[in-house]
Structure 1
């Protein structure tokens, strides 16, 4: 990453998202890098640059205003308020601090977790157990900016960087961190430095890390669940430990494609009937803005289960997906099971022969099981 080019004001990348009208923001990794750059500049030169400009991995040069600054004989601290743009990010508005302390020559760059930044306690993540939860790309960004400041101002580049986030431990309770074994606070994240509003990437990355942690813990059976109710049902059915549970949300495709490359013996897919009917129809993104319940498809499934034309027409014109399964249940047609079986077949198709047996559980809003498909894998025909 070259440290150079023309600076861009924070929020100045709106043109890239004009088609959505949404404003991009900046990752915790970008904020920590900006705070580190300002603090190390002050440590070597005596003044805090405000705003401070950094270079992101793809060459953009945002400028960040400092929210706080302090210094002592061999240390300096700068802080940045994270701006997530128009993304509903739980860390939006968080104060990200970097305290930079001079170390003896030859020490290199050492990272520490300050208050509100977590520590890795489980294998399977891209950092060893015991390390601060500062991900590899933010670490590399900070190292490169420290080196650039050292070259410009005559420093050795040997520093300790302690990153902290005000109220980070409390904020982290709303993230995947506790389940992934990152304890004590947030992770410092970001591969591009940019938060794209309503991006799927952060959720999908959490799904992948969840699979990695489960595999590292020796779990042979994981569950991808669309929400908390389906997660409770999966636990009750299979007595799965917390680190075997994947908060799949709407991203069924992300779970299946990652397990295709990193298989476990068994996957349970658990979710609401309407969402899993979308998977049964071939949709891998189950969000309401990107796929809809296809009642015509459900009517055809009902016919295969013995529905007459009167019932099939009622299914095709029903108000909701749940109403379709209720109509069929009253007439002895197992539409819930048929949807679960079709969803399982779609899942096996995405897995492309990976050695993963799949079962599916469909529930209603109360958590009652309304359909299921028992485990089947690529060798079961």
Structure 2
């Protein structure tokens, strides 16, 4: 199979590309390598997959020196003509769109970035899939779409019309846009609502990264909602396994879907939305405890209120994903955090 993966210099995209390449698939990677966080980490991920950072230039394919079936192109999804040309030339089977402007709190500061990357960029992906049909479009949504919902666990059959940040609203918009194209143009689309992904090569703006840097420097860590937070922390290896399983199974439409009692997670069209998480929420203080154990250090904690846009708890119902694909997360938080600490110490030479 030939995959187009957007966001391959990113955390999940990097791991997914390696997984697919190791099983023998062909991968075309796209990333604009923006400076939302340390670009050196993004270049290091690319170099780990055999992409020479010194050869990278805009809209110029770079062949991997490790994987003969991998090439990388630096480009922005807002460049519609360049994107269309890739689809025209390559004969892509499956698209996995992971490129996005991430971050709940940053969306309060720079909302324009979310419209360009998450709305316009995704529209261009949909248009390319329309012009040059693919077998399946898989795209990243987020647990943030559940917003003000408080009933646990979060289910894809729940209404998600009350987002609490522009980031969440942009991800909800992606689901709506995908359904429209599935309906109008019969493009099989699957949205994946990720739940707090962590692990080696993770994003520096995520809690685990911020915590380990502060603890290493002897500085206090910021613990929001006074530690009364629960998150469905999901190890990146489990996430990638789920993405691969989903990508191999394009939706065909739910024959039992009823417009009088519509299920938000499926459709008569070839459209599906899944939660992809650990389905086992962990108290924030226990997560910090696992990090302290792995580091052999105790954190100084600065207790703070809940931040605007944040939710106090997340909990994924992954019943349908397990039923349809056999997905079953297998990495406990203690092991996942230890794996992250081991990578962090090696990468930063600690």
Alignment TM class, shorter chain as reference: under 0.3
Decide which structure has the larger Cα Rg and report it.
1
| Greater helix share, structure number | 2
**Normalising by the residue count of structure 2, what TM-score does the alignment of the two structures yield?**
0.27
| Greater strand share, structure number | 1
